[in-house]
Chain A
Amino acid sequence: VISTLDNLLFCLILLMFSSLSSYLITPKVIRFLEKKKLVRYDVHKPSRPEVPHGGGIALFCSLSLTLILSAVLYPNYLIELLVFYGVTTLSFIVGLIDDIKILKGQTKTVLSVAAIIPIILGHLICPTRIVLGHPRAPFIGRMRLTIIYWLLLPFAIAGPANAVNMLDIMNGIMPYTTLLASTSLLVSSMLLGNQLGLILSTIIIGDLLGYYPYNKYPSKIFNGDSGSLMIGASLGALAVLTRQEIILLVALLIHLLNAFLVFSSIKGFKEHREIKERPLKVLEDGTLIANLSKTAPLSLTRLILLIGGPARETDIIRIYEVLQWISTFLAITTAIFMVIQ
């Protein structure tokens, strides 16, 4: 039995190791991507600089190393850690394929749905360790969802993975917002006394903390789909394995709102390159304005520009940061309501 003090110490070790490893690995990945000419234009800047594309490689390497360390520190959670690693690996592979050879929107969505397989396999092999169904809800306790839960389960990973991917639109937004979302899961794991949640959220937080300095405005590296799909999927896996689905839903409200606006306006799964009209326009001086065409797809950024008027990239980034703080506060409040119940 691990005491609380040991637990905190182990989590601190994991946090330091994870952040240090991603901080040290990322510059090497940047050099590698530059050497291989895997770069993309930063379209929101007037000079359109070329930026290495595929930061997911750094995030995945650091996550893998930290998961090995966590298996040594917490051998009693080996099965859960293996399942978690399976989900992140599958989503990373899907993202990496998309970074190298652009996939169609529908193909990417179907492949990201397949990332749930390790969880289902884990549940079939070890039903006492990988427990599915009846997520926790505020004021209710365990929900009585049966049919809907199994209908929605395939999207438990694909949902957050694609929602995070769709909001990965400007420098630093993805790591900043998901860092706060994982912090809310860390706090809720503490409040609910969930050790596995504490371990997994610490690993993700450390990973993003070390990586963020390279991705924040102005970015030295882009996350790529390998980064955003993997981080979104890892948050989904964390939520399913620790039954914190509702808390994650609230923590990712901004991402889900954006995904809902896009999906409902383009009516289906489409890769952004397949959409003819863009939701926003970039002027020569780098100012962003909303596309006023009726046929242009809706997105949260477009709505922000429609409400607030023309903006610089940094203005949009600051707004997303503030909105994510609101979501994080609501997610922690939801966890407190669960404790009260």
Chain B
Amino acid sequence: MNKKKVVIYIGTLVISIWLSLLLILIFIEKVLLVAIRNSLIRSVLGISFYFIWLLSGYLILHGISSYFIRRNKARSSPKSC
């Protein structure tokens, strides 16, 4: 097992999630909640942005996993001439 590679890949993923979490928190609290005066619209937009953040995380993670599954399958299958 290539431990260094795993730590670099997953470590980068974890740091990216952390950074995106900070960015989304700051964006919603400092920009969205300040710029919009209507409470209902503020809540709906805030919840929507958190949902979009989660959904994009889901798509990215599944994209990464699918890529590695495909790559491993291609490596393990016998090569045809």
Contact = CB atoms under 8 A, between A and B. Distances in A.
Nearest to A148: B47
Contact of B72 (A253, A265, A306): A306
* Contact size range, A: 35 or more
Contact of A304 (B10, B47, B50): B10
A264 interface: yes
B52 to A, nearest CB: 14
B69 A292 contact: yes
B37 interface: no
Given A264-B62, A323-B11, A249 B21 contact: yes
Contact of A140 (B30, B43, B64): B30
B64 to A, nearest CB: 8
A318 B9 CA distance: 15
B76 interface: yes
A249 B53 CA distance: 15
A330 to B, nearest CB: 5
**B13, B15, B29, B62: residue with the most chain A Cβ atoms closer than 10 Å:** B29
Interface string B3-23: 101110111011101100110
Interface residues of B, number: 37
Nearest to A298: B65
Interface string A322-337: 1100110010001001
B29 to A, nearest CB: 5
Interface of A: 137-140, 143-144, 146-148, 246, 249-250, 253-254, 257, 260-261, 264-265, 290, 292, 294, 298, 300, 302-312, 315, 318-319, 322-323, 326-327, 330, 334, 337
